[in-house]
Amino acid sequence: MPSGLAFHLVKALLLENIHPEAERVLASRGFEVQTHSTALGADELVQALDGVDYLGIRSTTDVTADVIAQAPSLRAIGAFCIGTNQIDLDAAAEAGIAAFNAPYSNTRSVVELAIAEIISMARRLTEKNANMHAGLWEKTATGSHEVRGRTLGIVGYGNIGAQLSVLAEALGMRVLFYDIADRLPLGNARRVDTLEELLKQSETVSVHVDGRVENTNLFGAREFALMPRRALFLNLCRGHIVDHEALHDALASGHIAGAAIDVFPQEPKKRDAHFVSKLQGMPNVILTPHVGGSTLEAQVDIGRYVAGKLADYEQTGSTSMSVNFPDIAAGPFQAHRIVHLHRNVPGVLASLNSIFASSDLNIGAQSLATRGQIGYAITDVQGAPQPGMLDELARIDGTLRVRLLG
């Protein structure tokens, strides 16, 4: 019979005040959903994951290898955000746990915040606002500039960097970008060969790189010194890529005229928690609490997108857009589907098919994909799987997880 619904009660836990749209999507697909408004520490998380099949988090909850080892029922993790550095992806894959994120859903929200901050800093709106609230009418053009005609340097030309490029160019800015990957320029943006080249030419620098460890302190005293005097700096990607001591010194000396920072090396785990930064109290510095993607529109889209990925994985085995599994876009199926996650070693598919043949199961369709050390096979079979066949499949050398759908 056609498969599209969950045939048993599947439990999902959503943390960190994920938008209700995610709960609605999962519930409509047959999941039992529990929600929690904040992040959980390691011990609390392990306890909460008892009997949970699917976990949804945002950027604050850390899913470590130790947590994963103590969550045997967990099948998949949804990061309702862009970044996945809060998840040990290798440990998850080794445990047979798929991970998904939302790489596109909040792109526009981050870009609009960056544009707003570039204009605000160029016009020194933070200082003018503070003066007005203090009762000081300081009507002057000193230090205020249009962004039209100025050069924006974008470090990291992925989804966010590329869209920022388009909007900045529409405002009349000249756009340069640097990326370690080969990226196609949009509009009149121009690629430069080195970070140093970009920094020397850019009056405003906006950073949009990923959270890999290699990017730690990507920006320090040397990089700020390369930027033109009175340049502006934005970081809306990951806190650990900027040396905040060096940024403070560059701002205090006047070499950097303004900064907008949305992410920090250490961020509070809970809303309304006390926050301390070296950059607090500095004029023309905009500090925001990691809200680049926090618009209602983005959160609705993220909730719908990631919840849909989790439900698809449960009900069809689809791993499309997974960040740690081989990518197979699997749709609806007839009769029975068997999904088999294994180490990428020779002979696994032959062993699978031998067991199917000995069980008198005809293969209707089969897909295999690999990713590094992981292999993933989806097989639609015609006929009823025999008792004990899943145990036999699980005994294949290198098997990480096997499931029967339908």
Which member of 19, 238, 248, 342 is catalytic? 238
Q: How confident is the model at residue 6 (pLDDT cuts 50, 70, 90)?
A: very low
Catalytic site includes residue 290? yes
* DSSP code at position 215: G
Residues with Cβ < 8 Å from 141, sequence gap 6 or more?
none
CATH fold, domain 107-287, is Rossmann fold (3.40.50)
The mean per-residue pLDDT over the stretch 368-397 comes to 94
* pLDDT value at residue 82: 87
- Please report where in the chains the tokens 């006047």 appear, as a residue: 254
Distance, CA of 319 to CA of 78 (rounded, Å)? 12
Q: Which fold has domain 1-106+296-323?
A: Rossmann fold (3.40.50)
What confidence score (pLDDT) does residue 8 get? 61
In this structure, the strands spanning 98-100 and 54-57 are unpaired
Helix, strand, coil % (nearest 5) of the chain?
30, 20, 45
pLDDT band at residue 299, thresholds of 50, 70 and 90?
Answer: very high
- Secondary structure (3-state) at 247: helix
State percent of the chain over pLDDT 90.
90
Three-state DSSP class for 238? coil
Mean per-residue pLDDT over the chain, rounded? 94
Percent of the chain with pLDDT over 70: 98
Mark whether 240 is an active-site residue: no
Band of pLDDT at residue 83, cut at 50, 70 and 90: confident
Active site residue 238: yes
The encoded tokens of residue 141 equal 């053009």
**Statement: residue 25 has pLDDT above 60:** yes
pLDDT at 4: 37
Closest CA to 312 of 334, 332, 336, 335: 332
**pTM reported for the whole predicted model:** 0.83
Question: Domain segments of the chain: what residues?
Answer: 1-106+296-323, 107-287, 333-406
Tally the C-alpha atoms within 13 A of residue 112's C-alpha that lie toward its C-beta.
10
Contact 292, 110 (CB under 8 A): yes
The tens digit of pLDDT for each residue in 142-178 reads: 999 999 999 999 999 999 999 999 999 999 999 999 9
3-class SS at 127?
helix
Same fold, 1-106+296-323 and 333-406: no
- What is the pairing mode between strands 54-57 and 10-14? parallel
Catalytic residue among 148, 267, 271, 395: 267
Reply yes or no on whether the pLDDT at 220 is more than 50. yes
Superfamily of domain 333-406: ACT domain (3.30.70.260)
Choice among 290, 336, 337, 340 that is catalytic: 290
